[in-house]
Structure 1
Amino acid sequence: MRIALLADLHANREATEACLGALAREGCGRHVFLGDLVGYGADPAWVLDTVRAHVADGAVAVLGNHDQAVAHAASPHMVAEARDAIAWTRRQLDADQLAFLGSLPLQVQEDDRLYVHANAWSPGEWGYVSSRATASRSLEATPQRLTFCGHEHRPALYYAQPGPAGHFQPIAGRPVPLPGARRWLAIPGSCGQPRDGDPAAACAVYDTDAATLTFLRVPYDHERAAAKIVAAGLPRIFATRLLSGA
């Protein structure tokens, strides 16, 4: 089975459509959405309805910090622009869409895999896996062999070893073997708001039969997505980031 992994869609319709198309061409038969479906972007209702349809067909979706903020209340630790986007997003959604967001689990275990937005050690406190040390902390907090998470917005692949976790910098389009002798943590990168200097949308494919993970970069009309953010009256910085991928 080929599993599609998408994180941090952030209400970006153009990026989500592009990634779903690319993942369909890769032959993915199951989808996993690793949180932050909303926030920043101009199409929260469309993205939510699209993810809901996939979940109804058996996909997995987990709660992200922006999802929680929209469904419940924004964290005081969020920057002002993010809180503005949260308030705007809430006004675009109906009761059923908000209820769907609020019902998402913090994490899902499936076979030897853990799906979570932020980390395994404290999923609801939203700490980042942004280093070998934090990757080790997350790997040590779960018995699952594979952890797939988002939140960091940059593709990364870590593996457990004595001391800080080992780290690979993934190359898009090149399958990476994930041998069973090791435990792994993978971040596919952000579909809807990449922050690694490449504006192309990010996603990944895990092949359970071949035990390989392939990171993908998918070009999309990021200029259109940015223009829609500006037209909606959302903070311009979220449009600027789409244009630069940073």
Structure 2
Amino acid sequence: MKLALLTDLHANREAFEACLDHAHRCGATDYAILGDLVGYGADPAWVVDTVRALASRGAIVLKGNHDESAAEGPRPTMVEDARQVIAWTRAQLDAAQLAFLEALPLTVERAGCLFAHANTWAPADWEYVTSRHDAVRCLQATTARHVFIGHVHEPQLYHLAGTGKTGQFTPVSGVAIPVPAHRQWLVLPGSVGQPRDGNPAACWALYDSDSLNLSFHRVPYDQEAAAAKIRRAGLPERLAQRLIEGR
């Protein structure tokens, strides 16, 4: 199985289309969408419908914090830009689309792998994995050998050996990395729809369960078009600029 890992789509049609096309050309046979289908971007309905179609063909799809807020209303801790976009997003989605987001699971386990949006120790609290300490906590909360999460908009890879030794890598696009099962691995593919590591190219990753190899990818897309849609929708200018700057 060649599993395409895509997360934090954030209603960015241009980025999502580019990543899906690249995944197809890389031979992806299966898909896992790790949450935050909506929020920040200007194409929530198209993105939700595209993910629904993938789900109907067997894709793993998880709920992110922005999906939860779109279905239920914004959380009190959301920053003002995000709250504004959630209010707009809710008005763009019909009852079936909102129900799809509401029904999504927080975690999925499959074939020795665990998938979550934010973390494994308390998925519903939406805490971030931003350090090696957080990564160890994430891996120690499960027996899965390969763990895939989103929420953090920068690609990272961590591992934990049986001896307790840990490692952290910032991956290079297109370079295959062996991820053997004698260690635990925590994979953060980075964001499709709103990268924040200074590189505006969209992020996704490919996991080969047969060879136990993992590759991270960066995909250029039309950021200007996606940003223009945000402006036309009357959403905060800062969200358009983030796509251009990748921050």
**Global fold match (TM > 0.5):** yes
1:245, 1:204 → 2: CA distance?
A: 18
Correspondences of 1:1-246 after superposition (within 5 Å)? 1-161=1-161, 162=163, 165-246=166-247
2:84, 2:165 → 1: CA distance?
A: 37
1:30, 1:21 → 2: CA distance?
A: 13
2:81, 2:164 → 1: CA distance?
A: 38
1:181, 1:100 → 2: CA distance?
A: 37
2:32, 2:205 → 1: CA distance?
A: 10
Q: Deviations over 1:73-99 (max 9, x none)?
A: 211111011000000000000000000
TM-score norm. by structure 2 comes to 0.98
Tell me the number of residue pairs that the alignment of Structure 1 and Structure 2 aligns.
246
TM-score norm. by structure 1 comes to 0.99
Shift of 1:164: 7.1
Q: Secondary structure at the match of 1:210?
A: coil
Query: Could you list the runs of 5+ residues in structure 1 that have no partner in the other structure?
Result: none
Contact kept, 8 Å, 1:225 with 1:239, in 2: the verdict is: yes
1:131, 1:115 → 2: CA distance?
A: 19
Q: Secondary structure at the match of 1:85?
A: helix
Aligned-pair identity (%): 56
Shift of 1:163: 5.3
Corresponding letter in the other structure for 2:241: T
Q: Secondary structure at the match of 2:207?
A: strand
1:142, 1:115 → 2: CA distance?
A: 11
1:165, 1:15 → 2: CA distance?
A: 33
Query: Could you list the runs of 5+ residues in structure 2 that have no partner in the other structure?
Result: none
